[in-house]
Amino acid sequence: MNSVAALGETPTRPALSAIPLFSDIADELLRSVAEAGRAHAYTAGHVVFRRGDPGDCLYSVLSGELRAFTSLDDGSELDLQRLKPGDSFGELALLDGGPRSNTVEALTDCHVFSVSREAFLDALPQSPRLIAAVLSNLVAYVRTSSERLLRQELEQRAIRAEMEVERLRALTQMVSGVAHEINTPLGIVNTAASVVTQRIASDALTRDVVDPRARAALEDVREAVDLIQANIRRAHGLVGNFKRLSVSQIADVKEALSIADVVRDAVGLFAINARQAKLDIQVLDALDDGGQRWIGYRGFLTQVILNLLTNVERYGYPDGTGGRVEVVVAEAARDPEFTIVVRDFGCGMPPDAVSRVFEPFYTTGRSKGATGLGMSIVHNLVTSVLKGRIQLASEPGGGTAVTVAVPKAIPD
């Protein structure tokens, strides 16, 4: 409940004429507005009106300070406007007759003049200056509040993107850390298995064991050790992949390069696979000759492109159907950046796959031996070492486009 003390007294005309909204209107009209309105006192913290309340009055601040704010979906509040003496507010709901679109509360003890909707709508047609003043007040309000809302939205998006990058970084660090830990015991098991293989193959054993049951047991041991060794090789391969997640495990040298050449060379490395998979890969270079200089890493960017092309082959155009692939190198519209887009026109991905594509181990190809690390490695390379950004857009049946943006000169 508002603890409003309606002073009930009309502010003097000079007090009203100090309010810009009313400063230009004729004396007579000013008098009737002053008579139709009343002054209120609010103590700090009290609410003048809430979002959703009926818009029944126009307000002008006579003294003190108030704030207009709106509550966001996450429960937080976004300040839209600070209201100081001379400022008017609440005209939006008056004009459209709708409910209040935000809440206004007193920040300090304050005095506010209010005039009812009827009196205000009566006064409006009598003074073109009042109409102009109301409109300019409205425009200023809409402009500042939409700027604030936009800034807030952009900040939240940046925070969400940052959190996602952090989450993926933590996950990949964990995986590569586990891989590192597993490596040593795996090596010991491997050595032990080799020793067993050597010993059971030794002449002493094969010659002296004549009992058929002992020979059969020995044969069983040999098969078991073969199985152990085959699986150690597989585990070793997986650990190698997991370690690739940690970019610190890969070395590359930063140098001055033509980015278009690096991209063309990477596509060239993929040529044999492309032929087999019937992929028609076109490199489109939108840069001028002089504008291709990139201070970057050939090896890392090559890995990124090869991973993306491998996915196009495997998932974009599965079953060797083949199709068109575009690799576009261009200059980003903003900032000194290059963008590389790898686009296919194949199967595409459903939204839940798009949101998980950069997670380590997310794969739809596990039955075909995929581990789901490719895009995670790509993400890591782009954000950590190439100091850039990556984005994937895809929809079922509509193909997939991966956009990588990297600085023209990668900072140290």
Ligand X SMILES: Nc1ncnc2c1ncn2[C@@H]1O[C@H](COP(=O)(O)OP(=O)(O)OP(=O)(O)O)[C@@H](O)[C@H]1O
Residues making contact with ligand X (CB under 6 A)? 311-312, 314-316, 344, 346-347, 349, 353, 357, 362-365, 370-376, 400
Of the listed pieces 28-36, 235-243, 349-357, 366-374, which binds Mg ion according to CB under 5 A? Answer: 366-374
Q: Which does 127 bind (CB under 5 to 8 A by kind): Mg ion, ligand X, none?
A: none
Residue 347 contact among ligand X, Mg ion, none, beta carbon within 5 to 8 Å by kind: ligand X
Report the residue number whose CB is nearest to ligand X: 374
Give the one entry of Mg ion, ligand X, none that residue 363 binds, where binding means its C-beta sits below a cut-off of 5 to 8 angstroms depending on kind. ligand X
Minimum distance from residue 340 beta carbon to ligand X (Å)? 15
Comparing CB distances to ligand X, the nearer of 7 and 353 is 353
Stretch that binds Mg ion, among 25-33, 159-167, 331-339, 367-375 (CB under 5 A): 367-375
CB atoms within 10 A of CB 141: 21
- Return the number of the residue (283 or 306) whose C-beta is nearest ligand X: 306
| Closer by beta carbon to ligand X, 112 or else 168 | 168
Is residue 316 a contact residue for Mg ion (CB under 5 A)? no
**Site for Mg ion (CB under 5 A): which residue of 81, 137, 311, 376?**
311
Write down the least CB distance from residue 206 to ligand X, Å.
42
Least distance to ligand X, CB of residue 389, Å: 17
CB atoms within 10 A of CB 153: 12
Task: Indicate which of ligand X, Mg ion, none lies near residue 222 (CB less than 5 to 8 Å, by partner kind).
Answer: none
Q: Which does 344 bind (CB under 5 to 8 A by kind): Mg ion, ligand X, none?
A: ligand X
Check binding of 114 to Mg ion (CB under 5 A): no
Q: Among 316, 374, 399, 407, which residue interacts with Mg ion (rule: CB under 5 A)?
A: 374
* Distance of closest approach, residue 392 Cβ to ligand X, in angstroms: 8
Q: Which of ligand X, Mg ion, none interacts with 88 (beta carbon under 5 to 8 A by kind)? A: none
The residue among 292 and 311 lying less far from Mg ion, judged by its C-beta, is 311
Cβ atoms of 322 and 379 within 8 Å: the answer is: no
CB of 344 to ligand X, least distance (A): 5
